[in-house]
Structure 1
């Protein structure tokens, strides 16, 4: 599944539509979330036809504001779960017949109303039991490293974003290429860049798909860039086969003092987010379990041969 999100800032002109077509041709996403279409659902049908996109759920704009669309190509098994003017939530059946929830999200542009957006995300999250990916324009950033130029971010607003992510056990997926996704298109000291668009996911997504590539694609027809996530960008079969580089947690480790120490050291290093902590624990436990239990496994195999 390749998931593309873009705050297109209106699709009513030929230049914007042409850029969307170029994006689709160059990146071949099979699930696309568009925000600020500034169109009714009926008007969006013409965009769908011109871009040769077979399936869609569109949410009406309110005059010249808002408007959402989730579009997917034939071959994708997508069922819409719920939607409103700030989100479209769907269930996607993957190639391996596993279900995953995918939500396109558009945070409120008015900081005074953004808590309403977080409440929507909470309500959606309360009903989800599957692995979950959320992508879109959150109109918010998590820390000062996600803004360059202008006034510093409001700490209370950043903390509110962090709190809802912690509450829902969601992890920020950092892009492999690109960083800022919005610019104010000014120059010099007036230039401001922010990371407003992103993908976040449940911890289980990171655990089961630890090598998800994401990228930021620069655009000229909107002040927002495109973000793309490729769930199968590095399939497990392409991962190194060295047992020291991967592991599956064994319940017997819970009582192992060495395992506890390895986990604590990896978890407590530096002030990093939960996704990085999990990856660091994974990287530490792989070599540890290979060294400690690898010989035990070989001894058991030798004993089985002797018995047989």
Structure 2
């Protein structure tokens, strides 16, 4: 039976741990923090990491380094973070790959559920279906006709195997009943570089990555991939209204850290990141790029990740997509 003396004793024992926990959060960060990006510089994942990272650097008074680790659909970066020290100094910016890679790859060197702790949702963003200016297609239906007239010859680019750009292309093939060949790149930027001169025929790219190229007249946007039109580009129709019913895809990014990172450190990263997302210059820039800053609790991000897993799992299984690391 616990007596008053026992309870007082337990409180005395626990007090240093509580104070140590608070001190650890107050002192963090005491050295540079790195944000690991699973794709090449210039893509939307990289853009998001740098926008948020620059603001966090100002708030924390510590250097925030964006470290690009592309390859294997994000698995190289995920493995690096999963096996990093769980102290908050390594942060992983990740998107749909966290939900899709377990279905895409037969064996992973990390556990997406148990090796990571969710921190906060960063942004959501639509994709744009874009073709080179040299393309004969000026609408979605014209592109479908082009595919049917050139069976086996039409290609679509993506930022890597298993990305939403890849899965968007596969979903388009299924819903529009066309044939296209997938050309994966190590990031969105090199994919766009080949789209502009017409080395590939189409891309379903994240709006922050490709919108500037649309606005500059480098490529032509045929549709947005979300169910509703996007306020930033209201003149661009949706795929759903363009004759591909049921097409509704968007990208998202969130912060995760290695599992067993101290809860008080996660709470600090969460609070400071959520504040960074509503910081006027950051918020305005994201909106200019067609992205919606979000912010969330760790629990909300965990629930969202489960919903994404439930959505994409059947799509990948039905399409029989299997990839090698």
TM-score norm. by structure 2 comes to 0.25
Which structure has more RCO (C-alpha within 8 Å, separation ≥ 6)? Answer: 2
TM-score (norm 1): 0.26
